[in-house]
A and B are shown apart, each in its own frame.
Chain A
Amino acid sequence: MEFTPLYILQVIPELLRRLGVTLWLAAATMLFSTLFGALLAWAKLGKSRVLRALANAYTAVLRCTPTLILLFLCYYGLPKAFAPLGVDLNRMSRFCYSLIAFTLLNGALMSEVIRSTYESIDRGQFEAAATVGMTPFQTLRRIILPQGVYIALPNLGTTMITLLKEASLAFTIGLVDLMGQAKLIISLRYGARALETYLALTLIYWALTFLIARLVSRLERAFGAGRFERAREAAP
């Protein structure tokens, strides 16, 4: 066994061929888990005691569930659960299984992001919007969301990076994303140059998380720009 640093660079293009799968999975999960998280947050902030307890219990359990176990439970459990209904899920793609597992997991995180953002917005904003005759939906779209996005951005960035990292476990149920591609390349070479391949993978993931962090701080500046000007004008 010997170490050939040059191979790290050579294998990167081969790995990047599956970058799309990783990014698609992350993006689709982000979309669905935001919707699911919003639903959970709505339940947590709502008046119904039962819904609130259910949403809180769900979040507490999912926060303590290792990703690996949730993936396996979905992969082995969903076909079992749906079989009596006459639905055959055995042909469902691994991508779909991964998407479901990560949406369940990330939805819990997103619900907390959304809930804390909503609570951090001043009550007076809602009242003021109602006073000028806005409907609840208009209030949400024009008043709450623009402020909320700015407040939520740091948390959103952390959640996205966590998701990207956790999503690398989808290879355990056979999805060929970046990580799966690395495993495939190594097994095609009968285990040779495993270290170099994983180091290349390290570089790729590192670059991805770095880019997300940069993007989020850019957005923060963009959304914050108007905010600080207004604050300065308001200051005596």
Chain B
Amino acid sequence: MSFDLDFFARAARAVLPGIPLTLLVVAFSLAVALPLGFLTAVARAKRVRALSPALAFLVSLMRGTPMIVQIYVIYNALPLMLSAFFRKAGIGVNVFDVDPLLYALFLFSLNTTATLSEVFRSALSTVGAGQMEAALTCGLSEAQAYVRIVVPQMMRAASAPLCNAAVELLKNSSLVFYMGVRDLMGIIKTEAGIGYNYFEGYALALVIYLILCFGVQGIFRLVERRAKRGRAAQAA
């Protein structure tokens, strides 16, 4: 079996500029989805009329269909909707000039919000209802009760599934290429296509994703360890 090492080294250099793009998709989606996912979980737990069923519908749709199908739906639907909106609003922007990265950020944020809302929903259920009642009795406002009492306890149950969700997001981000975003998969595909070095190319992609993925898991482990130290200090 021949493995073209020269190509591997050359492609590794070419692919480096694509990595920040992947990290951007992951970081942006998490930044949007952490607060929104939590709010979604709270809204569903409180059974807000009309809003809760609508959110449940969206979450089920996002969790029940393949990411690649969602990508194609958004990729075809958003320009259609945007162009109608631009025409109505009188904005002279051609939809085809909109960077596909924006579509990717939109979809991945939405999808991650759905995933995290499920994570937070089950994590919320591990905190007894008495905690909230006790906090309210002590004169805390509901927002205070969530921030100071419920969320810190919830995080113990949420941290492992959160890490899984982040890893899932990172892996799925390899699909933004199908929305026309030239991320590292896109760069590798063009590089590999020149000399039919597809195997070496995707081996390189695997190495990069493994490094990124172990990095994400490492960060979560670090945060978890610090949180545990905090808990131990409180208990002492």
A125–chain B nearest beta-carbon distance, Å:
27
- From A32-40, A68-76, A92-100, A223-231, give the one contacting chain B: A68-76
B183–chain A nearest beta-carbon distance, Å:
11
A157–chain B nearest beta-carbon distance, Å:
12
Q: Mark B142-177, 1 if CB is under 8 A from A, else 0.
A: 000000000000000000000000010001101100
| Contact between chains at B171 and A72 (CB < 8 Å) | no
* Given A65-B209, A179-B66: A80 and B199 interface contact (C-beta under 8 Å): yes
* Given A64-B171, A73-B199, A83-B1: A194 and B72 interface contact (C-beta under 8 Å): yes
B141–chain A nearest beta-carbon distance, Å:
37
Q: Is A210 an interface residue (CB 8 A)?
A: yes
Instruction: Mark out the residues of chain B between 61 and 98 whose CB falls within 8 Å of any chain A CB in the assembled complex.
Output: 61, 63-70, 72-73, 76-77, 80
Interface centre among B66, B171, B175, B217 (most CB of A within 10 A): B66
| Contact between chains at B73 and A169 (CB < 8 Å) | no
Total contacting residues, chain B, CB less than 8 A: 34
Question: How many A-B residue pairs lie within 8 Å, measured between CB atoms?
Answer: 94
Q: Is A81 an interface residue (CB 8 A)?
A: yes
Which of chain A's residues have a CB closer than 8 A to the CB of B66? 164-166, 168-169, 179, 205
Q: Is A234 an interface residue (CB 8 A)?
A: no
Which of chain B's residues have a CB closer than 8 A to the CB of A156? none
Q: Is B7 an interface residue (CB 8 A)?
A: no
* Given A195-B76, A195-B80: A69 and B69 interface contact (C-beta under 8 Å): no
| Contact between chains at A202 and B171 (CB < 8 Å) | no
Which of chain A's residues have a CB closer than 8 A to the CB of B227? none
Which of chain A's residues have a CB closer than 8 A to the CB of B214? 64
| Contact between chains at A206 and B61 (CB < 8 Å) | yes
Partner of A69, one of B70, B202, B217: B202
Q: Is A61 an interface residue (CB 8 A)?
A: yes
| Contact between chains at B65 and A199 (CB < 8 Å) | no
Which of chain B's residues have a CB closer than 8 A to the CB of A165? 65-67
Q: Is B185 an interface residue (CB 8 A)?
A: yes
Q: Is B203 an interface residue (CB 8 A)?
A: yes
| Contact between chains at B80 and A1 (CB < 8 Å) | yes
The majority secondary structure among interface residues of chain B is helix
Q: Is A5 an interface residue (CB 8 A)?
A: no
Q: A199 to B210: give the CA distance in the assembly, Å.
A: 33
Partner of B1, one of A3, A72, A84, A161: A84
| Contact between chains at A202 and B167 (CB < 8 Å) | no
* Given A73-B199, A84-B1, A209-B65: A66 and B174 interface contact (C-beta under 8 Å): yes
Q: Is B42 an interface residue (CB 8 A)?
A: no
Q: A192 to B214: give the CA distance in the assembly, Å.
A: 42
Partner of A194, one of B68, B76, B198, B217: B76
Which residue on chain B has the smallest CB distance to residue A72? B202
Q: Is A20 an interface residue (CB 8 A)?
A: no
Partner of B202, one of A73, A84, A179, A195: A73
Q: Mark B120-134, 1 if CB is under 8 A from A, else 0.
A: 000000000000000
A173–chain B nearest beta-carbon distance, Å:
11
Q: A66 to B213: give the CA distance in the assembly, Å.
A: 10
Q: Is B206 an interface residue (CB 8 A)?
A: yes
Q: Is B181 an interface residue (CB 8 A)?
A: no
Q: Is B43 an interface residue (CB 8 A)?
A: no
| Contact between chains at B203 and A73 (CB < 8 Å) | yes
Which residue on chain B has the smallest CB distance to residue A64? B213
Which of chain A's residues have a CB closer than 8 A to the CB of B217? 64
Q: List 12 A-B contacts (CB under 8 A).
A: A3-B80, A64-B209, A64-B213, A68-B185, A70-B206, A73-B202, A76-B198, A80-B2, A84-B1, A195-B76, A199-B73, A202-B70
Binding site for A on B (CB under 8 A): 1-2, 60-61, 63-70, 72-73, 76-77, 80, 167, 171-172, 174-175, 185, 198-199, 202-203, 205-206, 209-210, 213-214, 217
Name the 5 nearest CB pairs between A and B, nearest first: A64-B213, A168-B66, A195-B76, A209-B64, A66-B174
